[in-house]
């Protein structure tokens, strides 16, 4: 078998003027990418508008220190649960990376989704990639200038809709749109809209592949995740080399006809035939383009395909291996721990604070009294009033509201716990218990009396 000659290649293949003109292609992987990214994009745009019982389905409300999440109201005390969700998601990302490379980047990453959207807008306004590449060196005038202006206006519109939706996850979107229509937006919301519009326009419209290759940290540490059994987009050099076009084919020619379509459709502008490169986001556009060419020339598909290094060298390549199983276990444990955390979450927060200053006071009836403040905060609407009970050593009496109501805003209640002088000495454990028939909570504290 003829050895592939060693060639020095740049990190990315650039087109005219250093700009990559991506050619759109069709195929099963591009259809799969749309099946995955389409619902994610729609969910992002529409989820912010859904309300249940007058409450947004998903809202990070900084003003009231609440997170409305799918019918559940979380407080900032529940942030560890969100951290658990992020840990589970990260573990799932690592699991996918070990098994199938950068599938997340190519099929579900927001940067990729918006980049493909902007590329389609560019194709709609300025024409196919070959037309754009030929006209790159020409001056902007006439219809071409109008098309360029239309492209950037549509990009800005898409970026603004993205920014408006994003801001709507932190400010109720209906209020946001109403204030915007009446030109009454506050400076904070205005700043968010301008910033997110600019970032979306720059990232998806202008920076594009540079975000994936230079700004995204995953492109840098993916090599640590991969091993020889990782299935990623690969070129079968043993089958494709030496390359030759249809006119110059010989008996020793490989299946690659050197059409260059795999480079033209790549959103990061690389040549997958030069081997695995960190810029590859596994979008599989080159697979669909190559399969279409193989169909036309009457050769078997799969010259470019998802394959591991072991598979390309005709070795046994098991999918499930200790490293992948280990990540799968971490994913399952993370998900289980997060689900358990949500199941144990209390709809009411109770805190007890001793009055600062004197450890105890003596009242007019010669009772030793300690003073406390109880904070109650509800995370769900419609909770019944709670009855307050004190538990601890005999002889203690609780003075304060015996029945309290909770609300979404924190409420403080003053209490006094007293004991006849001489009946208790030193420190004793007590607990404030609240119950409304369906929910019972308890918070412990200490009672301090003179003596040892």
pLDDT at 5: 45
Q: How far apart are CA 235 and CA 241, in angstroms?
A: 10
Helix (H), strand (E) at residue 378: strand 367-378
Paired with 375 in beta bridges are 351, 412
Measured between alpha carbons, how far is 428 from 156 in angstroms, rounded to an integer?
A: 66
CA–CA dist 269, 281 (Å, integer): 11
Classified as helix, coil or strand, 276 is coil
- In the beta sheet, which residues pair with residue 369? 361, 418
**Measured CA distances, 238 to 242, 287, 297, 301, 310 (Å):** 9, 17, 18, 14, 13
CA atoms within 13 A on the CB side of 135: 16
Cis peptide bond prior to 189, omega within 30° of 0:
no
Of 3.40.630.10, 1.10.3470.10, 2.60.40.10, 3.30.1490.190, which CATH number belongs to 348-449? 2.60.40.10
Residue with tokens 């969910």: 43
Provide the 3-class DSSP secondary structure of residue 180. helix
Helix, coil or strand: residue 337: helix
In 136-284, where does DSSP find H-type helix? 142-167, 173-181, 187-200, 209-210, 218-225, 237-240, 261-264
Note if the pTM is more than 0.85.
Answer: no
Q: Can you tell me the distance from the alpha carbon of 279 to that of 233, in angstroms, rounded to the nearest whole number?
A: 12
Q: Look at the block and give the residue holding tokens 């444990």.
A: 333
Closest CA to 304 of 233, 243, 371: 233
Give the model's pLDDT for residue 246.
Answer: 67
Helix, strand, coil percentages, rounded to 5, for the chain: 45, 20, 35
Question: Residue ranges per domain, the chain?
Answer: 16-79+102-220, 348-449
pLDDT of residue 358: 82
Closest among 59, 83, 87, 84 to 72, alpha carbons compared: 59
Enclosing H/E stretch for 106: helix 103-107
Radius of gyration of the chain (CA): 32
In the prediction, which pLDDT does 189 show?
A: 92
User: How confident is the model at residue 389, as a pLDDT?
Assistant: 93
CA nearest 186: which of 73, 47, 62? Answer: 62
pLDDT at 65: 74
pLDDT in tens, 274-302: 988 888 999 999 999 999 999 999 999 99
Residue stretches of the chain with pLDDT short of 50: 1-14
Q: What is the DSSP secondary structure assignment for residue 10, as one 8-state letter? A: -
| CA trace torsion 24, 28, 29, 31 (10° rounding) | 70
Expressed in angstroms, the distance from the first to the final Cα of the chain is 92
């Amino acid at each position: 078998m003829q050895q592939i000659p060693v060639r020095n290649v740049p990190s990315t293949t650039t087109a005219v003027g250093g700009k990559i003109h991506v050619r759109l292609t069709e195929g099963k992987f591009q259809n799969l990418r749309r099946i995955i990214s389409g619902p994610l994009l729609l969910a992002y745009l529409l989820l912010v508008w859904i309300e249940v019982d007058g409450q947004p389905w998903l809202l990070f409300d900084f003003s009231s220190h609440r997170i409305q999440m799918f019918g559940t109201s979380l407080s900032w005390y529940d942030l560890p649960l969100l951290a658990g969700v992020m840990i589970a998601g990260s573990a799932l990302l690592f699991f996918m990376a070990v098994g199938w490379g950068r599938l997340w980047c190519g099929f579900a990453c927001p940067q990729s989704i918006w980049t493909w959207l902007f590329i389609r807008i560019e194709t709609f306004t300025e024409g196919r990639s070959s037309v754009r590449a030929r006209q790159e060196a020409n001056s902007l005038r006439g219809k071409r200038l109008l098309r360029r202006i239309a492209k950037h206006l549509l990009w800005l519109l898409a970026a603004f809709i993205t920014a408006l939706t994003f801001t709507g996850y932190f400010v109720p979107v209906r209020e946001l749109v109403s204030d915007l229509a009446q030109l009454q937006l506050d400076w904070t919301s205005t700043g968010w809209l301008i910033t997110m519009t600019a970032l979306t326009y720059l990232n998806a419209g202008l920076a594009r592949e540079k975000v994936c290759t230079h700004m995204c940290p995953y492109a840098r540490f993916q090599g640590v995740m991969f091993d020889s059994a990782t299935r990623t987009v690969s070129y079968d050099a043993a089958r494709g080399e030496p390359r030759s076009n249809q006119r110059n084919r010989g008996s020793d020619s490989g299946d690659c006809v050197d059409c260059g379509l795999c480079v033209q459709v790549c959103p990061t502008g690389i040549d997958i035939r030069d081997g695995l490169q960190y810029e590859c986001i596994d979008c599989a556009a080159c697979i669909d383009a190559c399969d279409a060419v193989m169909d036309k020339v009457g050769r078997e598909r799969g010259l470019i395909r998802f394959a591991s290094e072991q598979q390309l060298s005709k070795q046994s390549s098991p999918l499930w291996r200790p490293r992948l199983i280990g990540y799968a276990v971490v994913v399952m444990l993370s998900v289980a721990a997060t689900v358990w955390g949500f199941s144990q979450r209390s709809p009411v927060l109770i805190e007890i604070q001793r009055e600062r200053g004197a450890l105890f006071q003596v009242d007019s009836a010669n009772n030793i009294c300690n003073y406390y403040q109880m904070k109650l905060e509800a995370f769900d609407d419609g909770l019944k009033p709670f009855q307050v009970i004190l538990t601890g050593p005999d002889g203690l009496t609780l003075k304060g509201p015996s029945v309290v109501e909770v609300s979404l805003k924190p409420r403080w209640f003053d209490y006094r716990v007293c004991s006849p002088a001489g009946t208790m000495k030193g420190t004793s454990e007590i607990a404030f218990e609240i119950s409304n028939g369906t929910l019972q909570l308890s918070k412990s504290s200490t009672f301090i009396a003179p003596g040892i």
